[in-house]
Amino acid sequence: RSLLRNELPDAEVMVVSNREPYIHNMESDQITVQRPASGLVTALEPIMRACGGTWIAHGSGSADQLKVDSSDRLGVPPEKPSYTLRRVWLSDAEQDGYYYGFANEGMWPLCHIAFVRPNFRTSDWEHYVAVNRKFADAVVAEARTSNPIVLVQDYHFALLPRMVRERLPDATIVTFWHIPWPNAEVFSICPWKEEILSGLLGSSILGFHTQFHCLNFVESVDRFMECQIDREHSTVSASSGTTLVRPYPISIEWPPAALAGQPPVKECGDLVRKKYGLKADVRIAVGVERFDYTKGIADRFRAVESLLENHPEWIGHFTLVQVAAPTRSRLPAYRDTQVEAETLVQSINARFGRDDWQPIILAATHHEPDAVFTLFRSADLCMVSSLHDGMNLVAKEFVAARDDDDGVLILSTFAGASRELHEALIVNPYDIHAMGEALHIGLSMPDDQRRDRMRLMREMVGEHNIYFWAGRMLLDAARIRKRRHIERQIA
Residues found near ligand F6P in the complex (CB under 6 A) = 18-19, 38-40, 154, 178-179, 327-328, 390
Of 295 and 464, nearer to ligand F6P (C-beta) is 295
Min CB(199)–ligand F6P separation in Å: 17
Query: Whose Cβ is closer to ligand F6P: residue 388's or residue 464's?
Result: 388
Closest residue to ligand F6P, judged by C-beta, is 40
Beta carbon of residue 37, minimum distance to ligand F6P (angstroms, whole number)? 7
How many helices (H) does the chain have, and how many strands (E)? 18, 18
Q: How far is the CB of 461 from ligand F6P (least distance, A)?
A: 17
C-beta of 407 vs 416, nearer to ligand F6P: 416
Alpha carbons 141 and 151: distance in angstroms, whole number? 16
Q: What's the longest Cα–Cα distance across the chain?
A: 79
Residue number with CB closer to ligand F6P (212 or 224)? 212
Nearer to ligand F6P, 19 or 396 (CB): 19
CB of 334 to ligand F6P, least distance (A): 10
CA distance 463 to 460: 5
> Which string of DSSP letters, residue by residue, matches 87-156?
EE---HHHIIIIIIIIIIIIIHHHHS-SS------HHHHHHHHHHHHHHHHHHHHH-SSSS-EEEEESGG
Nearer Cβ to ligand F6P (19/162): 19
Specify whether the backbone of 382 is left (phi greater than 0), alpha (psi in -120 to 50) or beta: beta
Shortest reach from residue 43's CB to ligand F6P, in Å: 8
CB of 366 to ligand F6P, least distance (A): 11
Residue 487 Cβ, how far from ligand F6P at the closest point, in Å? 34
CB of 343 to ligand F6P, least distance (A): 24
Residue closer to ligand F6P (CB basis): 292 or 437: 292
Q: How far is the CB of 107 from ligand F6P (least distance, A)?
A: 10
* 319/386 with CB nearer ligand F6P: 386
In the bound state with ligand F6P, the residue whose beta carbon lies nearer, of 352 and 373, is 373
Minimum gap (Å) between residue 18 Cβ and ligand F6P: 6
The SS3 assignment for 58 reads strand
What dihedral do alpha carbons 373, 378, 379, 383 form, nearest 10°?
Answer: -20
Report DSSP state, residue 354: B
CA distance 138 to 330: 27
Rg of the chain in Å (alpha carbons): 23
Q: DSSP code of 60?
A: -
**Which residues neighbour 339 within 8 Å (Cβ) at sequence distance 6 or greater?**
none
- 144 contacts 452 by C-beta, under 8 angstroms: no
Give CA–CA dist 370/444, Å, rounded.
Answer: 28
Distance (Å) of CA 156 to CA 109, 202, 209, 220, 243: 13, 15, 17, 19, 19
Burial class of residue 91 (count of CB atoms within 10 Å of its CB; 0-12, 13-18, 19+): exposed
Nearer to ligand F6P among residue 295 and residue 453 (C-beta): 295
Q: What is the rounded CA–CA span in Å between residue 77 and residue 356?
A: 43
Is residue 294 within 8 Å of 328, Cβ to Cβ? no
Q: How far is the CB of 227 from ligand F6P (least distance, A)?
A: 27
* Cα–Cα dist 380/71, whole Å: 45
d(C-alpha 373, C-alpha 35), whole Å: 14
Minimum distance from residue 216 beta carbon to ligand F6P (Å):
17
Residue 159 burial class via C-beta count within 10 angstroms: exposed 0-12, middle 13-18, buried 19 and up: buried
Q: Which is nearer to ligand F6P, 18 or 132 (CB)?
A: 18
Which of 180, 359 has the CB closer to ligand F6P?
A: 180
